[in-house]
Amino acid sequence: MTLPMFKNPNLKPLAPGAVKLLIIHCVANKCNRPFEPETLINCGIAKWGQPSYHYYILRNGDVIPILPENVRGVHAKGYNGCSLGIVYEGGLNEKGKAEDTRTEAQKHAMFELLKDLTEEYPDVHILSHCELPRVAKSCPNFIASKEYASLQPENRGTKVED
């Protein structure tokens, strides 16, 4: 997907050396209703003047790149200058209650994306939005630092060679 936003000169740069965190979010839409990438992009533009996140993981496991990795997102107050934002489709159950609604395909895609990104940015930590200080909401409704403990910098480098 090519977005005209990519050419917007007002997007603020994000140097590769600046990226210290991969922050996981949910859209917080009901998981039984699709939330299209275009809708996510338009919500960001309406609210912040640009898309909010770098990667969007759909229910079917597709990973949609939204912002290039060298520009700032708008997804975690106080941390946008040192992080990439990754968001999954869903986050509310069919009754509208906050829940980890990731499908197996989403979990698999998220792990693979995070694995690639930790290879690209060797000292990054993985965190849920709700693990940041002073974040009241439960987004993304699971604790990413624990789920992805094996990908954290202190545990990397111990991988078995294939």
* Minimum CB distance to Zn ion, residue 71 (Å): 18
**Residue with smaller CB distance to Zn ion, 76 or 122:** 76
For Zn ion, give the closer residue by CB, 99 or 156: 99
Least distance from Zn ion to the Cβ atom of residue 82, Å: 16
Amino acid at the residue 5: M
Q: How many CB atoms lie within 10 A of CB 7?
A: 8
Q: In angstroms, what is the minimal distance from the CB of 158 to Zn ion?
A: 30
Contact, 10 vs 69, CB < 8 A? Answer: no
> Which 3 state secondary structure label does DSSP give 161?
coil
Minimum gap (Å) between residue 16 Cβ and Zn ion: 23
Give me the residue label for tokens 């078995």: 160
Interface contacts to Zn ion, rule CB under 5 A? 25, 129, 139
Q: How buried is residue 9: exposed, middle or buried, by Cβ count under 10 Å (0-12/13-18/19+)? A: exposed
- Tell me the residue type at 112: E
- Write the CA distances from 86 to 26, 83, 138, 160, integer angstroms: 8, 10, 15, 27
Measure CA of the first residue to CA of the last residue in the chain; give whole Å: 33
* Minimum distance of Zn ion from residue 21's CB (angstroms): 13
| Residue nearer to Zn ion on the CB measure, 15 or 136 | 136
Q: Which is closer to Zn ion, CB of 23 or CB of 151? A: 23
Contact 140, 24 (CB under 8 A): yes
Q: Which is nearer to Zn ion, 134 or 159 (CB)?
A: 134
